[in-house]
């Protein structure tokens, strides 16, 4: 029994979401993947996956085994890579990234990154949904905010300010809020995927806001605020164009909260392959060149 092959079939099934997708990725038949995973479960005497016609779901035992198997496979790949081509990053790298951040600061640099590392393939998973690094096969996640999961490690690559803004047209009709508490009387455009929900954080207060428009996209917040729908809250770089050309106005500047970190997260007990290390180094340097990200401090 070749346990590395069995682990590989299992890990790719988890990461791709199906036996057939794993088979295509590995260049083998779907029945082979199914047999490999069945053999692995028989060897371990435990069920690793719940199968259904729609998707595969890890059992609790499968979650634990996947984390260990992924770490082992990464170590094997890194060991082989270091002998075959010591200076070259290789393989498929899966990176999760928030939508607005991806479009503003990651995607513009992807062509150059891939040109510099021709043996690396990039699966950039752009979503504001919280992607799991263990159960979804993601090696790196770019996330906004402070690290709260002790199973993860973080490299801080940037800092930015969250600001409150509105259009001149909106303020002319509704007035200018002077304190965070004044926002309770204003139409606020609520970003539904904000980790704090509809609570906006300031230096000296947390205010639960409301409004008739709720959206699940940062860009939609920006567009709605620019159109005069209401007051918005988000990273200053999101509103940079409107602030620069005068369509938008910064509000409550004396109440701004401390800067928020942008971090690259990875699983603490997993050996990072070189493709992940070069990605972190490249984009930390790219973020450092953006004034709105406060110099991209390493942490």
* Structure tokens that stand for 122 in this block: 């990039």
Domain range for residue 204?
162-255
Closest listed residue to residue 121, CA positions, set 139, 103, 98, 144: 139
Which residue has 């993601």 as its token pair? Answer: 138
* DSSP track, 17-81: SSHHHHHHHHTS-HHHHHHHHHHHHHHHTS--EEE-SS-EEE-HHHHHHHHHHHHHHHHHHHHHH
Computed over every residue of the chain, the mean pLDDT equals 87
Task: Kindly state the helix (H) or strand (E) to which residue 277 belongs, with its residue range.
Answer: helix 274-288
pLDDT for res 295:
41
Counting residues of the chain whose pLDDT is more than 70, the rounded percentage is 89
pLDDT for res 298:
38
Give per-residue pLDDT as tens, 106-145.
999 999 999 999 999 999 999 887 666 655 678 899 988 8
Domain-terminating residue out of 47, 68, 84: 84
CA distance 290 to 109: 12
pLDDT for res 141:
92
| CATH assignment of the domain containing 62 | 1.10.10.10
Query: Of the ranges 92-96, 196-200, 271-275, which one carries the lowest mean pLDDT score?
Result: 271-275
For residue 239, report the phi and psi dihedrals to the nearest 5 degrees.
Answer: -105, 15
pLDDT above 50: residue 296: no
| CATH assignment of the domain containing 230 | 3.40.190.10
Does 266 map to a domain? no
Which residue has 């070069």 as its token pair? Answer: 278
CA distance 217 to 293: 20
Give per-residue pLDDT as tens, 209-258.
999 999 998 999 999 999 999 999 999 989 999 999 999 999 999 999 88
- In this structure, are residues 248 and 238 in contact, taking their beta carbons and an 8 Å threshold? no
Give per-residue pLDDT as tens, 37-47.
999 999 999 99
Total of domains in the chain? 2
Does 100 map to a domain? no
Does 206 map to a domain? yes
Give per-residue pLDDT as tens, 166-196.
999 999 999 999 999 999 999 999 999 887 8
pLDDT above 80: residue 147: no
Give the burial class of 244: count Cβ atoms within 10 A of its Cβ; 0-12 exposed, 13-18 middle, 19 or more buried.
exposed
CA distance 82 to 95: 22
pLDDT for res 1:
67
- The DSSP code for 247 is S
Q: Within 13 Å of residue 132, how many CA atoms lie on the same side as its CB?
A: 9
**How many C-beta neighbours within 10 Å does residue 83 have?**
8
Give per-residue pLDDT as tens, 19-29.
888 888 788 88
- Planar angle of CA 158, 164, 168, nearest 5 degrees: 130
pLDDT above 70: residue 87: no
Which residue has 């029945």 as its token pair? Answer: 31
List alpha helices for 133-260, DSSP H: 168-174, 218-226, 240-245
Distances (CA, A) of 48 to 1, 22, 62, 107: 18, 16, 4, 36
Domain-terminating residue out of 31, 57, 84: 84
* Structure tokens that stand for 294 in this block: 């406060």
Does 89 map to a domain? no
- In this structure, are residues 105 and 150 in contact, taking their beta carbons and an 8 Å threshold? no
Pairing of strands 162-167, 248-251: antiparallel
Does 47 map to a domain? yes
Domain-terminating residue out of 18, 49, 84: 84
């Amino acid at each position: 029994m070749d346990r590395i092959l069995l682990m590989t079939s299992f890990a790719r099934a988890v990461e791709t979401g199906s036996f057939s997708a794993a088979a295509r990725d590995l260049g083998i038949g779907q029945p082979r993947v199914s047999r490999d995973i069945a053999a692995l479960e028989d060897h371990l005497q435990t069920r690793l996956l719940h199968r259904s016609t729609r998707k595969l779901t890890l059992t609790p035992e499968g979650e634990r085994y996947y984390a260990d198997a992924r770490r082992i496979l990464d170590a094997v790949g890194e060991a082989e890579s270091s002998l075959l081509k010591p200076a070259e990053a290789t393989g498929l790298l899966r990176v999760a990234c928030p939508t607005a951040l991806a479009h503003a600061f990651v995607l513009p640099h992807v062509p150059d990154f891939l040109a510099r590392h021709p043996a690396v393939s990039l699966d950039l998973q752009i979503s504001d949904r919280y992607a799991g690094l263990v159960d979804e096969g993601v090696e790196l996640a770019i996330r906004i905010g402070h690290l709260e999961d002790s199973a993860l490690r973080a490299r801080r690559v940037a800092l930015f300010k969250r600001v409150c803004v509105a259009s001149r047209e909106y303020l002319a009709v509704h007035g200018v809020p002077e304190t965070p508490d004044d926002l309770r009387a204003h139409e606020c455009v609520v970003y539904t995927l904000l980790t704090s929900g509809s609570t906006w954080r300031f230096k000296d207060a947390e205010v639960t806001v409301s409004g008739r428009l709720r959206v699940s996209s940062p860009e939609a917040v920006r567009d709605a605020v620019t159109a005069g729908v209401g007051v918005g809250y988000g990273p200053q770089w999101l509103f940079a164009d409107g602030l620069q050309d005068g369509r938008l106005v910064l509000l409550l500047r004396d109440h701004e909260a401390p800067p928020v970190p942008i971090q690259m997260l990875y699983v603490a007990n997993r050996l990072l392959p070189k493709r992940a290390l070069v990605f972190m180094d490249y984009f930390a340097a790219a973020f450092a060149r953006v004034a709105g990200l406060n110099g991209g401090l390493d942490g």
